[in-house]
Amino acid sequence: MAAPRRSERGLSESVQFAVVWPLLVLLTLGIIQAGLWLHGRNVAQRAAVAAVDAARGSYGTSAEARQRAQTLTSDGGLEGVVIELSMGGTEVRASVTADAPTILDIGAGRLHETASAPRERVTQP
């Protein structure tokens, strides 16, 4: 009587699984990381626009503009936030620099967004 043949089919599938699984995990983490970065970028951009909108009005102050941007960035999950605001005679410019949340820090988590708009002012007709 001949010995039964052993199937090596399971071994082949295990090797394929061992090669494909890490690639799928890295791809999934990369997609999640890209989503976190895009969310952080959108939050920083919205904070800069909100600061400009608050400061450009006739009664707008830099303190109110900074507070509005700080609230948006903290609610959005950004850390290490630096808000710079310059109010000239005709223009208001806001700059928001922050760290986006990251899963794997590869050095691309630092965000910098700016916004500017003309300052509202009363003129004679």
Domain residue ranges in the chain: 18-118
At position 100, the amino acid (one-letter code) is A
- CA distance to 4, 65, 93, per residue, from 88 (Å): 88, 14, 8
Higher confidence at residue 67 or residue 6?
67
**Element at 55 (helix H, strand E):** helix 9-56
Q: Is the pLDDT of residue 92 over 70?
A: yes
Mean pLDDT across 106-118 = 87
pLDDT in tens, 45-85: 999 999 999 998 878 788 999 999 999 999 998 999 999 99
| 31 Cβ neighbours under 8 A, 6+ residues apart | none
Q: What pLDDT is recorded for position 11?
A: 59
> Does the pTM of the predicted model rise above 0.85?
no
Q: Are 85 and 93 in contact (CB under 8 A)?
A: yes
- Residue 73 CA to residue 48 CA, distance in Å, equals 10
Q: What is the DSSP letter of 115?
A: E
CATH of domain 18-118: 3.30.1300
